[in-house]
Chain A
Amino acid sequence: MKCIVVTPEKTEIDRDASFVVAPIFDGEYGIGKGHTPVVARVGAGELRITSPEGEKTSYFIEGGFLEVSGETVSILTDRVLPPEKVTVADAESRLQRAKELPQTNSDLAAMKEKALAGARGMLAAARKWSKK
């Protein structure tokens, strides 16, 4: 199975995997070999890729889409960060900024909701990694 992660700037990750756990809009989503074709919205959080040798690698990804077709998992995301670049302080200041966004109409409220969800996902991932 192949796991490809693409950002608008470039293809960040392109390698073999035996198992992929991706953060989607309502929780984590595990994809193994022979998974049914799926298109899903990606949330913010930890992406775990298990290599065929059983080695696990984590990344922080945020927003975008996940597509499973055949033996390929492709993730289109806005941002990919290695765990060491995600800090609790950054995530907290982002959450603060998201809380201050206006929500005067339904579209703006939806944007605020998204910003909040992104910041919370980042905070959760940062807290998890800072404990290690």
Chain B
Amino acid sequence: MAKARALDKRRKSIRNIRKITRTMELVATAQFRRAMERAVSAGAYTQRIAAMVADLARAGASVSHPLLEERQAKNGAALLILTANRGMCGGYNSSILRKGHHRADELKGDYEKFRLLVSGKRGVSYAKDRKIELAASYDQFNDKPQYDDVVKIADFILSEYLAGNIDRFEVAYMKFISVSKQVPVVETLLPLSELAADDTADGSAGAKGAEYEFLPSPESILEEVVPTAFRVKLFKCFLDAAVGEQIARRVAMKAATDNADSMISILTTTYNRARQGQITNEIIEVVSGASALQG
């Protein structure tokens, strides 16, 4: 009986694990939907900013701003890596960290001073294990990054940038392309390469063709738009990362549940065979015992 019982025990524990992974899959699905909604509703703002930039450009404002200029100086650089606070999401964290670590090494060679910032407990413990020095770490971002929290980081980076302490700021994160595709990327946020975050918005804005009055002046509005565009871009990175994390978790948990399913079915077959074998054995014993008595 020993073998069959051990198999049954194992099957039970796999069933329990399956329950857990299945629940995590469902939770991740729900959170993914919520994160996705947030990312979509944040799109309204980005599109309007892009439309406004297009209007400003048509009004003849020259698009120049300290945040837009490529700097020759190579004094300092900063890299922010966005990882998750929790694991159980397949290769999500490791793929970003690999990408980020690689880029960090490159920046370290190119710039005199290099600072690494990490968001997410997974990234922080990665740096700790490898004894990498962190300039700052954040773990307050979960599946719902708040704009106000992101702005604090953005303003800190902006002031460091304007003070000349850093000449380049990059972010490594999981970029959302579609539900079935996310890629780890490193993007340069400062200097800002282009203002119109969404190239789709330009066309719709141009169609309106209204002559705007600018208060106080197109230049002054542009001065305000540029830092805002930076903040929103950084916020978008956080939102993308949150969506990517939930998708990765859902996929990982789905795979785990499927694995548990196939394992359970294999174990069930083995268990049944073992049980049958045992019964056969017992019958043989009884029959041979009986025939021995008769004889």
Question: Contact: A108 with B159, CB < 8 Å?
Answer: yes
Residues of chain B with a CB closer than 8 A to A6's CB: 44-45, 48
Cα-based distance from A69 to B44 in the complex (angstroms): 17
Interface residues of B in 43-68 (CB under 8 A from A): 44-46, 48-49, 52, 55-56, 66
Tell which of A38, A40, A111 touches B158, judged by Cβ atoms closer than 8 Å: A111
* Min CB gap B69→A, angstroms: 12
Question: Contact: A65 with B163, CB < 8 Å?
Answer: no
* Min CB gap B121→A, angstroms: 24
Residues of chain B with a CB closer than 8 A to A70's CB: 208, 210
Contact residues on A (Cβ < 8 Å of other chain), bracket: 20 to 34
Interface residues of B in 13-43 (CB under 8 A from A): 38, 41-42
Question: Contact: A39 with B213, CB < 8 Å?
Answer: yes
0/1 per residue, A65-88, Cβ < 8 Å to B?
A: 101011000101011000000000
0/1 per residue, A105-117, Cβ < 8 Å to B?
A: 1011001000000
Tell which of B148, B164, B211, B212 touches A79, judged by Cβ atoms closer than 8 Å: B148
* A10 interfacial contact with B, CB 8 Å: yes
Residues of chain B with a CB closer than 8 A to A38's CB: 212-215
Q: B164: nearest residue on chain A (CB-CB)?
A: A105
Chain B CB within 10 Å — which of A67, A76, A108, A111 has the most? Answer: A76
Question: Contact: B228 with A25, CB < 8 Å?
Answer: no
Residues of chain B with a CB closer than 8 A to A105's CB: 162-164
Residues of chain B with a CB closer than 8 A to A69's CB: 208, 210, 212
Question: Contact: A8 with B163, CB < 8 Å?
Answer: no
How would you classify the secondary structure of chain A's contact residues: helix, strand, loop or mixed? Answer: mixed
Q: B236: nearest residue on chain A (CB-CB)?
A: A8
Question: Contact: B216 with A25, CB < 8 Å?
Answer: yes
* B231 interfacial contact with A, CB 8 Å: yes
Cα-based distance from A8 to B162 in the complex (angstroms): 23
Question: Contact: B221 with A65, CB < 8 Å?
Answer: yes
Q: With A8-B147, A39-B221, A41-B224 given, is the CB distance from A108 to B214 under 8 Å? A: no
Q: B211: nearest residue on chain A (CB-CB)?
A: A37
Q: With A9-B147, A65-B224, A76-B48 given, is the CB distance from A37 to B213 under 8 Å? A: yes
Cα-based distance from A26 to B55 in the complex (angstroms): 22
Residues of B within 8 A of A (CB): 38, 41-42, 44-46, 48-49, 52, 55-56, 66, 146-148, 151, 155, 158-159, 162-164, 208, 210-216, 220-221, 224-225, 228, 231-232, 235
Besides A9-B38, A67-B52, 6 more A-B contacts (Cβ < 8 Å) are: A39-B215, A70-B208, A76-B49, A78-B147, A79-B148, A108-B159
8 smallest beta-carbon distances between A and B, as pairs: A40-B215, A107-B162, A10-B41, A37-B210, A8-B147, A8-B45, A37-B212, A38-B213
Residues of A within 8 A of B (CB): 6-11, 24-26, 29, 36-41, 63-65, 67, 69-70, 74, 76, 78-79, 104-105, 107-108, 111
Q: List 9 A-B contacts (CB under 8 A).
A: A8-B45, A8-B235, A24-B215, A36-B213, A38-B213, A40-B214, A40-B221, A41-B221, A108-B163
